[in-house]
């Protein structure tokens, strides 16, 4: 079914021309975009191009970005690469030029469930999105609070959230060196969760891995609730 959904270059041109009747879209344009690395259609053994649903979406994005916002191909390519890495692409209405993440409460909940584990951001994108300085990032890395993904130069969504929170705490005079206590407490909680989940994971019953993952999510949620309540209760006693 996936294979039958792929379009030849002629079919791709027909669809795009129908959707963008005011644009002069030719086969040479699609070949040029491919040569620039903005789209990479699959090739049949005979060498014919086959455009997937994802390829067609990329082409539509390129055409709109050029037609409505006059973006150069270099910038459009950065947008597409951001999308591939799980980031929100920069807004096409004159918004930020660096892809970012939503760091609100809902996004934090998504991160807890692991929905955005595939996010990859560069050092420049991390500094921009978290609104911190390079110096602060160096300190966070020095204290082991933030690190790049294993075997990569990119950071994940957890690093973005940690860096953002650390930057906001710095405004109150709380420095990265003060945050080591948070890291130590988190490591202890992880160890506790591992003790609970390991027997489930080692079980030979069907679905053991899924039950272990569900248990980890539920314990993490309960731990956050408990931590937040304990902190709030402690602060209330200070008033």
Q: Quote the pLDDT of residue 105.
A: 40
Q: Please tell me the predicted confidence (pLDDT) of residue 93.
A: 57
pLDDT at 16: 94
The answer to whether the Cα torsion of 180, 183, 189, 190 is positive or negative is negative
Q: Which of these CATH numbers, 3.20.20.70, 1.10.1660.10, 1.10.1040.10, 2.40.10.220, describes 9-84?
A: 1.10.1660.10
Closest by Cα among 155, 62, 153 to 101: 155
Residue labelled with tokens 């390991």: 198
Which contacts of 200-205 are long-range, i.e. CB under 8 A and separated by 24 or more positions? none
Give the number of other CB atoms < 10 A from CB of residue 235.
9
pLDDT score for 118: 60
- In angstroms, the CA 47 to CA 54 distance is 20
SS3 assignment, position 75: helix
Cα separation, 132 vs 151, whole angstroms? 24
Please say whether the beta carbons of 80 and 37 come within 8 A: no
Supply the DSSP symbol for 176. Answer: G
- Residue 99 has a pLDDT of 46
145-151: which pairs have CB atoms within 8 A and are 24 or more residues apart? 145/176, 145/179, 145/180, 145/182, 145/183, 149/120
Question: What's the pLDDT at 11?
Answer: 95
Residue pair 55/41 in contact by the 8 Å Cβ criterion: yes
What's the confidence (pLDDT) of residue 3? 47
The domain segmentation of the chain, as residue ranges, is: 9-84, 105-174, 179-236
Give the mean pLDDT per block of 10 residues along the chain (239 residues). Answer: 72 94 89 92 93 93 86 86 76 50 44 54 89 94 92 88 92 92 90 90 82 84 83 83
Residue 226: C-alpha distances to residues 9, 222, 239 (Å): 57, 6, 21
Structural tokens at position 193: 């969760």
Residue labelled with tokens 């595939």: 118
SS3 43: strand
DSSP 61-128: HHHHHHHHH---HHHHHHHHHHHHTTPBPPPTTT--SS-B---SHHHHHHHHHTTTTT--B-HHHHHH
Give the closest residue to 161 by CA, choosing from 180, 145, 176. 145
């Amino acid at each position: 079914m996936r294979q039958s959904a792929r379009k030849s270059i002629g079919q791709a041109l027909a669809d795009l021309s129908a959707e963008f009747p005011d644009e002069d879209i030719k086969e040479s344009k699609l070949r040029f975009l491919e040569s620039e690395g903005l789209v990479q259609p699959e090739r049949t053994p005979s060498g014919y191009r086959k455009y997937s649903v994802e390829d067609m979406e990329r082409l539509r994005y390129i055409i709109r970005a050029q037609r409505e916002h006059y973006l150069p191909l270099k910038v459009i390519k950065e947008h597409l690469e951001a999308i591939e890495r799980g980031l929100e692409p920069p807004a096409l209405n004159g918004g930020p030029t660096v892809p970012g993440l939503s760091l609100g409460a809902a996004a934090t909940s998504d991160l807890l469930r692991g929905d955005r584990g595939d996010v990859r951001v560069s050092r420049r994108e991390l500094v921009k999105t978290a609104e911190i300085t390079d110096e602060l990032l160096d300190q966070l890395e020095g204290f082991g609070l933030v690190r790049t993904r294993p075997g990569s130069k990119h950071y994940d969504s957890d690093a973005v959230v940690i860096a953002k929170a650390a930057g906001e705490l710095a405004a109150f005079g709380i420095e990265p060196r003060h945050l080591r206590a948070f890291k130590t407490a988190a490591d202890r909680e992880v160890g506790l969760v591992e003790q609970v989940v390991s027997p489930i994971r080692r079980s030979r019953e069907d679905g053991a891995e899924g039950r272990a993952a569900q248990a980890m999510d539920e314990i993490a949620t309960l731990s956050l609730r408990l931590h937040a309540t304990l902190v709030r209760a402690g602060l209330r006693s200070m008033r």
